[in-house]
């Protein structure tokens, strides 16, 4: 285990901890970490808390540098980090505050199928999903793009896929930003980034990306469940993927090129990985235009993946996806920077909200929440590892007040991929998962070991903090029965 972080952490309450801005000269705000005593022990064992303090140096940052309970070490920002900068008062945007997999995110589908009715088909469904959905490093899909379509997908996002017959208009209503954020600028995307994404639409990718067949095993909010059409024993599906090579290249391009902005705009940060530029500068505008292209590509990608998943279900169960009730509940982004209005010190301000490994969690009545969800709040999806639970929650007004309407995005790693590979046996892991009724298909045994449950925090602990702190409200819990991994 790595050396324990020795910086100051002050307890605010059972779920919040403060790194005071007096810790390091140059911090403009405090750091706030959402965690309990148990999770805090894990957080102290990597560099994430130091990164929370470093983010507090960013020009224009308001309130605090925030960290969700799934926080772990990342590039520049910690994964699980949230920071908002004041656009009109020198606020900056940082590619490190979004990450390499721009708009990596999760979508959750419901069905009208019950586990007891199809439990003998889980193996067939898992194999069909693995067969139909390209996965793994550098995977390429059957959905090919012409030069013109390559630009269209960057602007239209999921709507591009729906126009191609890969879904329905209802899917767009149930996707954050209706599946396409405005302001995308294809001219701000390098030729290399475009080429890397050209053949990857409708592909899962590698690492922690997955498609899971799940069954709901616990209901918490009956009213919300009734509103969403969810019930105990119901089969659901989760899809986790992002912008693939396109997003990675955009982050690499701008992280490198923005280093010169540190001296140009007199930005003083303790880590070059926090390279940034004022939101209203030419460099800031260019990055946001390119980042939005990658975000739209990711929404289109998950729309294509959902189409392939629906098709696999149709082939195995001999029914149309509509008859099976395979409708999208919601799709959330968790690596993105967005221009939003929030109340800070009693005044409405225009902010650039960085959510890196964090999910938007707007509460009931928020105008940006889809009308069908406005009474209960925006759906928030928090998946766990492949051996434990995943959760559906809803956003809250308290999240809007405290975290710029943000919650966490998953369980969060406690072991690096290399450490997991050294300490976990693939055969034993697969037998353990099989004994729990979980079938796993992956493009390589290395991925299975890297993504072992032991490599992650227990998502149940993480969600306890999110719910206990009041920044999201539990709706239901599900467990995996069929998993495909990249």
Active-site annotation, residues: 409
Residues 6+ apart with CB under 8 A from 457: 39, 42, 69, 70, 411, 412, 413, 414
Distance from C-alpha of 197 to C-alpha of 243, rounded to nearest angstrom? 8
Cβ pair 38, 379 in contact under 8 A = no
Closest CA to 355 of 59, 42, 68: 68
What DSSP line would sit under 357-412, residue for residue? SEEE---TT-TTS-GGGTTT--EEEE---TTS-EEEEEE-HHHHHHSSSEEE-S--
Q: Supply 70's token pair.
A: 């799934």
Helices 282-317 and 244-257 cross at an angle (nearest 10°) of: 170
Q: Supply 275's token pair.
A: 């390279």
Residues 6+ apart with CB under 8 A from 484: 126, 129, 130, 133, 135, 204, 210, 211, 212, 440, 441, 442
Q: Supply 470's token pair.
A: 């009041």
Q: Supply 101's token pair.
A: 């997999």
Cβ pair 127, 255 in contact under 8 A = no
E strand or H helix that includes residue 269: none
> For the chain, how many helices (H) and strands (E)?
17, 19
Closest CA to 474 of 412, 355, 411, 390: 390
Distance from C-alpha of 263 to C-alpha of 207, rounded to nearest angstrom? 36
Residues 6+ apart with CB under 8 A from 348: 341, 342
E strand or H helix that includes residue 1: none
How many other β-carbons are positioned within 10 Å of the β-carbon of residue 10? 10
Cβ pair 342, 405 in contact under 8 A = yes
Q: What is the DSSP letter of 175?
A: B
């Amino acid at each position: 285990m790595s050396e324990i972080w020795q910086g100051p952490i002050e307890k605010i309450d059972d779920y919040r901890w403060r790194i005071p801005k007096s810790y390091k000269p140059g911090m403009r705000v405090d750091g706030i970490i959402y965690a309990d005593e148990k999770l805090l022990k894990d957080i102290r064992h990597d560099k994430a808390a130091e990164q929370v303090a470093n983010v507090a140096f960013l020009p224009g940052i308001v309130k605090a540098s925030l960290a969700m309970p799934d926080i772990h070490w990342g590039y520049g920002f910690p994964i699980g980090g949230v920071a908002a900068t004041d656009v009109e008062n020198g606020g900056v945007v940082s590619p490190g505050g979004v990450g390499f997999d721009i708009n990596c995110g999760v979508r959750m589908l419901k069905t009208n199928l019950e586990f007891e009715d199809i439990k003998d088909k889980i193996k067939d469904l898992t194999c069909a999903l693995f067969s139909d959905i390209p996965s793994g490093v550098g995977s390429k899909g059957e959905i090919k793009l012409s030069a013109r379509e390559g630009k269209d997908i960057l602007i239209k996002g999921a709507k591009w896929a729906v126009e191609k017959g890969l879904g329905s208009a209802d899917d767009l209503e149930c996707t954050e930003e209706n599946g396409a954020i405005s302001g995308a600028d294809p001219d701000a995307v390098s030729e290399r980034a475009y080429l890397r994404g050209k053949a990857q639409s409708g592909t899962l990718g590698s690492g922690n990306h997955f498609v899971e067949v799940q069954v709901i095993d616990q209901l918490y909010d009956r009213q919300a469940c009734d509103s969403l059409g969810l019930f105990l024993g119901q089969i659901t599906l989760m899809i986790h993927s992002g912008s693939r090579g396109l997003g990675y290249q955009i982050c690499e391009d701008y992280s490198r090129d923005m280093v010169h902005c540190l001296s140009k705009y007199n930005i003083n940060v303790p880590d070059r990985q926090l390279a940034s530029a004022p939101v209203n500068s030419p460099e800031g505008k260019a990055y946001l235009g390119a980042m939005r292209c990658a975000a739209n590509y990711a929404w289109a990608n998950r729309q294509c993946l959902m189409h392939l998943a629906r098709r696999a279900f149709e082939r195995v169960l001999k029914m149309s996806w509509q008859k099976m009730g395979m409708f999208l509940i919601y799709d959330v982004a968790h690596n993105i920077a967005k221009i939003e209005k929030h109340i800070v010190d009693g005044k409405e301000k225009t902010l650039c909200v960085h959510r890196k490994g964090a999910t938007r969690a707007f509460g009931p009545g928020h105008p940006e929440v889809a009308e069908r969800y406005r009474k209960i709040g925006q759906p928030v999806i928090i998946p766990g590892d492949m051996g434990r639970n995943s959760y559906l929650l809803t956003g809250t007004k308290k999240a809007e007040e405290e975290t710029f309407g943000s919650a966490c995005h998953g369980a969060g790693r406690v072991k690096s991929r290399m450490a997991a590979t050294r300490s976990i046996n693939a055969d034993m892991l697969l037998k353990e998962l099989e004994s729990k009724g979980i079938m796993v298909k992956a493009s390589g045994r290395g991925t299975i070991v890297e993504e072992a449950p032991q490599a992650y925090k227990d998502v149940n602990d993480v969600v306890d903090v999110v719910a206990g702190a009041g920044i999201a409200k539990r709706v239901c819990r599900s467990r995996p029965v069929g998993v495909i991994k990249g």
